Chains A and B, each alone.
Chain A
């Protein structure tokens, strides 16, 4: 049984169908990526899974349980965390508070302290800046904080919306290293990326989205080898 299963998901905003019936699965312990151009519906997919946007049709199952009609708070409780697009750290809270607010629903005080130390081990830069307001961090540090904050919810599935957006290439490399580290700890990752090259190299399985539909899927290697994908998303021109 897969950890997350989405079937025939339809979402519309003001009469326009952003998702036109997509189905996909995320296996336990894998990195799965959704790639595609702007407006393909990738963010909408994540926002719908986390309950921020109500679907018009279709079902979402997490660990076999139907979570389609749960509210965001309940969905977080089931073990789905999101690293939102643009990082969205709480700029007026300190780094430490941002981590603590990730553990908002948890009551296990000692484990929370352990997890804070765990995140600080993962991102030593955050530890140095523990008392700084998150708004004063650099973009890369904010991204680390957003990931750390999501880890603090102790999720089974962590969804990331464009974590590399607007970051320097070196920092992007770090972010992908972190994603692999998370996978190493047994976490499942659902990743959205415009940086298709990096995403396809990192993932176990990938889905390609175009204007609200999933058009292709396959393992990272399969898609990297596909000429159509290379042409459309990896900026390589086909040989004539």
Chain B
């Protein structure tokens, strides 16, 4: 029994970790701007294409950091161009702007690629085959959860124990008073987009090791699932996003193990509905300690 389930569990933890790296970007940005950044899945896709085009001209060890840098620049520019000018606009406007950015990026990628799927390069270390118990899998299966947990722990430390982290927490509750402390809120917001994009770029390196065809809409489904994970974990909570993502990844794969592969995506979205109905603040949703 365990032997049959093991490969599915491993795949679940692995894909869950990849969702988690995307989910962190959703939850961070939501925590500060109360914005669902609909373009985040497309930034993940763009990271995939950056890699495809970069390996054509530079060696792999150089391509990996460049992918992360380019993705970060893209996330930063999107925020400055499409969200920052709408800082004092109603929240609905900025959300619509996010949807616009999402379609813009998708269509740009259609234009550049001609709509053909591109083959993601093989990352030698990650694609290596290994044996765990009775299961044969790729090294990425082990690397993903370890790297995800390490990055999430580092991020939580950054937020709780550094000056910029303190500023992020302050800005997340009160823009105006943060300004009165001399905090440049635009810089703090940029930092959250930079962190979120970097995590998505790292997530893409791991994700495309298993799913090697990159298309302009390939990020939509993992993006949506990561969003569900962020809501499930309690949007705004970083550990919540990670745990939510791991649970979703594992459940999806257990459903596949049960032979209901066709329903694995449906499960995720059914979960979203159930969470919104019965526990809208998610597993670790924001506690309010405000006293008036």
Interface-lining segment among B91-99, B175-183, B210-218: B175-183
B residues 57-93 with Cβ under 8 Å of A? none
| Chain A nearest Cβ from B20, distance in angstroms | 23
Q: Check B289–A72 contact: CB distance below 8 A.
A: no
Q: A84-B177, A92-B169, A93-B169 are in contact. Are A105 and B182 (CB under 8 A)?
A: yes
Write out the residue numbers on chain A whose beta carbons fall within 8 Å of the beta carbon of B288. 91, 135
Q: Check B163–A91 contact: CB distance below 8 A.
A: no
Q: Check B182–A92 contact: CB distance below 8 A.
A: no
| Chain A nearest Cβ from B176, distance in angstroms | 6
Q: A84-B176, A135-B291, A137-B291 are in contact. Are A90 and B182 (CB under 8 A)?
A: no
| Interface residue tally for chain A (C-beta within 8 Å) | 31
Taking the complex as formed, is A33 at the interface, i.e. its CB lies under 8 A from any CB of chain B? no
Interface-lining segment among A2-10, A96-104, A120-128: A96-104
| Chain A nearest Cβ from B46, distance in angstroms | 33
Write out the residue numbers on chain B whose beta carbons fall within 8 Å of the beta carbon of A82. 180
Write out the residue numbers on chain B whose beta carbons fall within 8 Å of the beta carbon of A90. 169-170, 173-174, 177
Write out the residue numbers on chain B whose beta carbons fall within 8 Å of the beta carbon of A91. 173, 288-291
CA of A51 to CA of B185, assembled, Å: 14
B residues 30-60 with Cβ under 8 Å of A? none
Taking the complex as formed, is A142 at the interface, i.e. its CB lies under 8 A from any CB of chain B? yes
Taking the complex as formed, is A73 at the interface, i.e. its CB lies under 8 A from any CB of chain B? yes
B residues 146-192 with Cβ under 8 Å of A? 163, 166-167, 169-170, 172-174, 176-177, 179-184
Q: Check A100–B166 contact: CB distance below 8 A.
A: yes
Given contact pairs A90-B169, A149-B181, a sample of 12 additional A-B residue pairs in the complex whose CB atoms are under 8 Å apart: A52-B180, A72-B179, A73-B183, A73-B184, A77-B182, A86-B292, A88-B176, A88-B177, A92-B289, A101-B166, A101-B167, A135-B288
Total A-B contacts with CB atoms under 8 angstroms apart: 71
Which of A90, A136, A142 has its CB near the most chain B CB atoms (within 10 A)? A90
Contact size class for B?
20 to 34
Q: Can you show 9 pairs from A to B with CB atoms below 8 A apart?
A: A51-B179, A52-B176, A84-B180, A86-B292, A90-B173, A90-B174, A101-B166, A104-B167, A135-B291
Write out the residue numbers on chain A whose beta carbons fall within 8 Å of the beta carbon of B184. 73
- Among residues of B, the one whose C-beta sits closest to the C-beta of A77 is B182
Write out the residue numbers on chain B whose beta carbons fall within 8 Å of the beta carbon of A81. 180
CA of A22 to CA of B169, assembled, Å: 37
A residues 93-115 with Cβ under 8 Å of B? 93, 97, 100-102, 104-105
CA of A35 to CA of B184, assembled, Å: 32
- Among residues of B, the one whose C-beta sits closest to the C-beta of A159 is B180
CA of A240 to CA of B8, assembled, Å: 91
Write out the residue numbers on chain A whose beta carbons fall within 8 Å of the beta carbon of B291. 91, 135-139, 142
Residues of B within 8 A of A (CB): 163, 166-167, 169-170, 172-174, 176-177, 179-184, 288-292
Write out the residue numbers on chain A whose beta carbons fall within 8 Å of the beta carbon of B176. 52, 84, 88
Q: Check A93–B170 contact: CB distance below 8 A.
A: yes
CA of A77 to CA of B180, assembled, Å: 10
Write out the residue numbers on chain A whose beta carbons fall within 8 Å of the beta carbon of B172. 92
A residues 46-63 with Cβ under 8 Å of B? 50-52
CA of A59 to CA of B217, assembled, Å: 54
Shortest beta-carbon contacts, A-B, top 6: A135-B289, A105-B182, A76-B182, A72-B179, A88-B177, A104-B181
CA of A135 to CA of B173, assembled, Å: 11
A residues 142-164 with Cβ under 8 Å of B? 142, 149, 153
| Chain B nearest Cβ from A33, distance in angstroms | 20
Taking the complex as formed, is A178 at the interface, i.e. its CB lies under 8 A from any CB of chain B? no
- Among residues of B, the one whose C-beta sits closest to the C-beta of A47 is B176
Q: Mark A26-53, 1 if CB is under 8 A from B, else 0.
A: 0000000000000000000000001110
CA of A51 to CA of B290, assembled, Å: 26
| Chain B nearest Cβ from A108, distance in angstroms | 14
Q: A92-B172, A100-B166 are in contact. Are A73 and B179 (CB under 8 A)?
A: yes
Q: A91-B173, A97-B166 are in contact. Are A76 and B289 (CB under 8 A)?
A: no
Q: Check B290–A76 contact: CB distance below 8 A.
A: no
Q: Check B180–A104 contact: CB distance below 8 A.
A: no
Write out the residue numbers on chain B whose beta carbons fall within 8 Å of the beta carbon of A92. 169, 172-173, 289
Q: Check B182–A88 contact: CB distance below 8 A.
A: no
Q: Check B289–A136 contact: CB distance below 8 A.
A: yes
CA of A136 to CA of B289, assembled, Å: 6
Q: Check B179–A52 contact: CB distance below 8 A.
A: yes
CA of A11 to CA of B288, assembled, Å: 35
Taking the complex as formed, is A224 at the interface, i.e. its CB lies under 8 A from any CB of chain B? no
- Among residues of A, the one whose C-beta sits closest to the C-beta of B179 is A72
| Chain B nearest Cβ from A115, distance in angstroms | 14
